[in-house]
Every structure is written in structure tokens, then in C-alpha cells.
Structure 1
Amino acid sequence: MTILGTYKCTARCENCCFDSNPFLTERLSLPEILQFIQEAAELPTCKMVVFSGGECFLLGDDLVTAVAYATSLGMITRCVTNGFWAKHPEHGRTRLEPLVRAGLKELNLSTGDYHQRWVSQDTVVNAACLATDFGLPTVIMVELQRERRVTAADIAGDPRMAGRLKRDNPSLRILESPWMPMDHNDIIEQSENRMLSQRTLHMRGGCTSVLNTVVITPHRRFGFCCGLSREKIPELNADWAPGTFNDLVEAGNADFMKIWLWVDGPDRILAWAATKDSRIEWENRYSHHCQTCLALFSDQYIRDVIREHYRERVQDVLFRYTMRLREQQGFDTHLAP
């Protein structure tokens, strides 16, 4: 489960999935956050709580309390942050240490060309170094696009990072992920092998977020995935109120479209839809599966094809869904169709 306690952020990145900025004020109260954690913990398969945003560190002491509560319920906790709090290492240590004492187990840092207009690379490296000093598994996620200034190699080349990476430290990783626009008609240029096409379709698979992750937003909305485009897809959201968690999970697990996304993923569904309507343009338009998903739910041609022809796929998809569930270690019957 992911808790988006606030969409307020110290940065204002272009193409931010939540249009986060420093001027937003709505947020979840601490009792609401704890209630959501409690309801999630009652689901046997819910093992991790991710605190993100916006900028989760802006929750202040409430974040520490929430991490401690999730830990007390036996759940693993992770924070996703831009690292702004580590501009000065001593201040960063003061901010991170209470979270570690509360049981925080992982830290993810977001950076890249867009983020570094607001939070410097030096600050991000400070945060990563502090996290590894505390023994936290740490991931730095770097925005990927064809033309860019910031790369994973640049960050790895920082002497402080290089020293830690040379220790063959498996708990410190630097990854890259395509930066995507929040309009399915827009394109952020990526290398050819990153773009969805007939040539790359075989490398695309089922969505690993839908049916595996749920979200609570500052607007008390329940998300059925933690995808970057979820906020812009009404079908992937519902209203949450205390006591409704389990009912919402069951409703999601009974939704064929979500099952289909989990089995085949949005890229393969889109390619299939294009075989039914030649007006659907898809090759070399999408690099991130969340942008493809946004197209599935936003493009009227695609919506029409799915509405008119999805029954052709039901038997096959549900069969493969059942087989995959049976193959999974620790299969839980609450997911059965």
C-alpha cells in the first residue's frame, strides 16, 4: 500500500504526475493515515507501506508516528522522497534518524533533470549517503529521456557514491526510469529501444502495480494501483471512508479490466486494440507503460474497441490469470476470480 499523505512538495517538476508544488495545502490527517494502515494490515497479503507524495517528509512528526505504527503491525516501510531535507548533512541526519528508530526499512530518492531544478545532485547524494550510513537499502531513481544532463553514471561518479558502490554494496542501487508526460498525446523523446513498437512489444508484460498495490490520496481517494497516471484515470480510483478498505480491494479484484492489465499489461492491450481499428496510433509514441495505460482509458478509439470487443478476450485472460495465481508462491484465495 502507498500513502500519499500530501501532494505538497518542495519542488514543482514539469510533468509531475500529481502536479505537486509548494502551495498545496490539503493532506491526510494523522488519524486517517493510521486508520488506513490498520485496515491494510488486516489483509494478510499486505506486507509493505510506502510513504510518498508530493513530498512525504513534509508530514513531519506525523511521518515518524505512521512509520512506527506500521512497524508495530509487522509491516515493512519505505519512504520515497526528493531528498531536500539533506541539503546540510547534519540537518539531514536529524531528519532521518527518528525515522530509522521508528523502523523505516528502505529509502527511495527521485532525481534527474526536472528534479534538479529544485533539489541539487549534491543534496540527493547527501541523502543517499546518510541512508546507507544508517544501513537502509537505498535506491536513487533517475529520470530517463533521450536528451538529458543528469544520468545514473554521473551520480555514481560522485566520489562519495563511488566509494560506497566499490564496496559492492547490494543495498545501494542507482536506476533509471523513463520520464513521461501527463498527456497521452505528448511525447518525451527516448532512445528507440525504449519506445513501444512491434519490435519491442515482446519485452512488455503485465502491470506489476494493479492488483498488487493500493493507494490513499490526500483527497481520501482509493487508488487501485500506484501508477504515475492513476490520478488521471477515473476507473482506477474510488472514494475511501474508514472501514471500506476490504470492500474496495474485493471490488478491484473482480474488475476484468484490472485483471487484464495485470495479466497482459497496457502495452499488449493497446497493440491488440490497434488490430481492431486502424485509426489507433501507438508505435513509437509511448516509453512508459503508465502513459500507455493513460492512452487506454483516454483515447476514444481505444475505449470503443475495448468496450465492443473485450468479450473475445475474457476466457483466455481469466484462464491465464488463474494459472499465474496458482504459480505464485504464497497464493492467497482472496484474489481468485
Structure 2
Amino acid sequence: MNLGILLWNKCDAKCAHCAVSSGPDQHALLTDDQLKRAIDACFYDDPAPKIGLSGGESFLYFKRLIYIVSYAASRGAIVSLNTNCSWALDSARAERKLGLIQEAGLRRLIVSTDEFHLAYIPAERVINVVRACKALNLEIELQFVATKTSLRLADFLKKYEDEFLNVRVREIPCHPVGRAVQEVDDDAIFRKPGTPTGCCPSAVLSIAADGRVIPCCNTAGHLPALQVGHVDDAIEDLHLKFRTDAVMHLMQRKGPHIFVAAATNAGFTVDRRGYVDQCHLCHDLFRDSNVAAAIKEYAANVVTEEVLNTVVGNSP
């Protein structure tokens, strides 16, 4: 069982685009016992599960972070970690801290920077981390959120030229959710007309910093209507519930657009401005509890019919 864990939602930045509204004034965090139970549960069906750790800013509680990475890696998990690099004040500190966490078992580092992060964290700290990862042969990926009017990834890479050679980079469109609803100009959002038809790209059972077990770490995953359970429940049971859920079954096979008609019958209105992508559409579909209930009923009926057709088709 692969698992995403948002360790805590406290962050030393308060980025305008943050989908989960992390910041210095946030204090939710998972306990060591909750984390260990969740990590242990990952091995019930997989000897080497992938566990992704993030925040908030994951390096804020560095000793705890080392402990958690070490615990997961010692069990055999493949551990990745997200950071904004605020802690990398110079190259020596970056290499020292990354060396410690790599020794604990970290396999991959995901770095977040963009115009929103740069308002709080100088680009030089990101470069310090990139150089340190190269020196340590630690896999690194750069994630960069953009709008139509913000700094773009291509411009950032051009400015720092060969620093990002052999580094995987990814530009991500800003979603109008979380803090971005109030602080990012909607006219700058990359919307496309109509409803996107892509399948769900990242459904991985995840645990939020406040203990909610959710179907993904993306925008829609944090909505109450999609909550799977709580970290204090049996994680193995929640994973089975997640894997057999009719909504998630259709979401991963066909995408959230399959629910638009049922949602519309329940009062949902397609946004005439369009959507960023299928994750944005999913968020809009499930943010209203009545619409979400109608979608769940529709999904259950569709999956039941599919099962019955399969049984009948296989009958002698």
C-alpha cells in the first residue's frame, strides 16, 4: 500500500497559492504513534511501499523528520520528501542536512519553488539544495506552480542555466482552491473551456495533518465528501474501503467528467469559465454535500450494473 502523509501543516511561508492554506499560524500535526501505525500498515500487502512525506514545511521539525524517515526506510519503504528549501541557508548546511536524511533512508527529494515561494524563500536556497543533491547523488525533482501572469518555469530555468541539468522539473498550473481563492487573480488561472476528460492522475491514500484519511493530496482530496476515515481507524481497512469505493473506481478508470450529468441533475452548474484540469473539476463536483451524495449514488449504481453484467456474461 502506497501512502502520502502530510506530517504537519505548519510552514514558515504563507504562499498565496497554497491549496491547503499552510502557514506559520497552523499547528495541526500527527503524533509519532499515529505515524508509526500508518507506516506499519503500508506493509500488509507490499514489502516495499512508496511513502511520500510533506507538510507544511517538512524540515521545520528536523529531528522528528529524521526519526520518521528512518522508521519507514528501516521497514523497507521507498521514502520521498517535499520541501521549500527555506532551511538551506548555505551550501554546507544544505549538504549536511541532506546527508543526514539520506543516511536515514530518504530516496527522493521534491523541491517546491515558484513566484509564490520566492516571496518568502530566496532562489539561492533552492540552488543550494540542488547542488547538495547532486553532490550526494540524491534524486531530486523541482515542482513549479504558475499562472498566466506569474514567473514561468522556463524563465526560472533560463536564469539559473546549467544548475538544473539532469534535474527533473515540472510546471504545475495553479488551482483556484485554498488560499488561492482569495489571493490569486482568477483571470490569471489557466482555465480551458468545457469539462476536462482526463482520468484521476494521483489517487493515493493519504493522511492529512489533522488525522483525516483522504483519497489524495491534491485539491479535491481534502474535501469532507471524499474523506475515507481517520488515522486512528485501522488503516488496512481504510485502504480496502478506498480500493473498492465506487466513486474512486470510476474516477481512476474514466475520470470525474463521467459524473457531470448526475451532478447537474442534483443542482451542479458547470463553470462557464472552464477548468484547469480534471483535479479542478473533481474539486468543484464534490465541494457541495448534496451533489456529492448524488454522485456517490450514481457511482454505486454504475458499478453494481457492471458487476451484474459481468456475472451474467460469465454464466453458462
Unaligned runs of 5+ in 1: 322-337
Q: Give distance in 2, aligned partners of 1:298 and 1:69.
A: 36
> Is residue 3–residue 51 contact of structure 1 (8 Å, CA) maintained in 2?
yes
When structure 1 is superposed on structure 2, of 86-95 and 305-314 the one drifting more is: 305-314
- Give the TM-score, by structure 2 length: 0.84
* Structure 2: distance between partners of 1:71 and 1:234: 33
The CA distance in 2 between the partners of 1:183 and 1:3, in whole Å, is 19
Which residue is 1:253 aligned to?
A: 243
Q: 5 Å matches for 1:1-337?
A: 1-44=3-46, 47-148=49-150, 150-159=151-160, 161-165=161-165, 169=166, 172-182=167-177, 188-189=186-187, 195-198=191-194, 201=196, 204-210=197-203, 213-241=204-232, 244-266=234-256, 268-273=257-262, 280-299=269-288, 302-303=291-292, 306=295, 309-310=298-299, 313-314=302-303
Q: 1:156 to 1:246 in 2, by over 3 A?
A: same
- Cα distance in 1 between the residues matched to 2:201 and 2:164: 30
- Letter of the structure 1 residue corresponding to residue 156 of structure 2: I
Report 1 or 2 for greater relative contact order, CA contacts < 8 Å, sequence distance ≥ 6.
2
2:162 partner letter: A
Decide whether the 8 Å contact of 1:263 with 1:317 is kept in 2. no
Give the partner amino acid of 2:198.
Answer: G
Identity across matched positions, percent:
24
CA distance in 1, matches of 2:60, 2:179: 30
TM-score by length of 1: 0.79
Shift of 1:47: 1.7
Q: Cα 1:101–1:175, aligned 2, differ >3 Å: closer, same or farther?
A: same
Q: Give distance in 1, aligned partners of 2:116 and 2:42.
A: 33
1:177: how far off? Answer: 0.5
Deviation per CA, 1:26-65, whole angstroms, max 9, x where unpaired? 3222232222111112232762111101111112112112
What value does the CA root-mean-square deviation take over the aligned residues? Answer: 3.1
Name stretches of at least 5 consecutive residues in structure 2 with no aligned partner: 311-316
Within 1, Cα distance between the matches of 2:81 and 2:34? 18
**Closer, same or farther in 2 for the Cα pair 1:122/1:38, shift >3 Å?**
same
Say which SS state the counterpart of residue 255 (structure 2) adopts.
Answer: helix
Q: 1:311 to 1:28 in 2, by over 3 A?
A: closer
Q: Count residues in correspondence.
A: 305
Q: Residues 20, 287 of structure 1: CA spacing in aligned structure 2 closer, same or farther, 3 A cutoff?
A: same
Cα deviation 1:264-313 (Å, max 9, x = unaligned): 222x2354447758972234332043321121112478447536754663
Match of 2:314 in 1: none
